[in-house]
A = this chain, B = another copy of it.
């Protein structure tokens, strides 16, 4: 999250994932002011998510493209778009984007799978646990959440 910065950072990443490259295109697409756009582009570059390359001298012009690290964000944006679509569906709106198999044209989507069996899972089949890199605060969060689940019924009768 810190690397992305804020929703402007996320908007810029979305446009780069779509394939926009030029400053003017990014500005028109996002509607972000010049000051904010320049600042967020620098932030994303400093965090290793994008790189800029000069494509013109006098005046100097740059193109922006995702680094391999930045490209890793694309799947999450796709999933966020899917979620946004499911919210919009219930309002009768249709999807602004669709994601298809480049070869067959079939719709593609994200599925949760058990990595040992390859079988599809539902979100409620998944449990969150502390990982090896969990710090004290993360362990505390998980224990509080666990307690909240267990005490839910007697909390309301207190």
Contact = CB atoms under 8 A, between A and B. Distances in A.
Interface of A: 1, 3-4, 6-7, 10-11, 15, 17-22, 25, 28-29, 55-56, 63, 69, 71-76, 78-80, 83-88, 93-104, 106-117, 121, 123-135, 137-138, 140-142, 144-146, 148-149, 155-156, 158
Contacts of A80: 1, 76
Chain A binding site: helix, strand, loop or mixed by DSSP?
mixed
A96 B131 contact: yes
A107 B114 CA distance: 6
Contacts of A109: 112-113, 115
Contacts of A101: 114, 121, 125-127
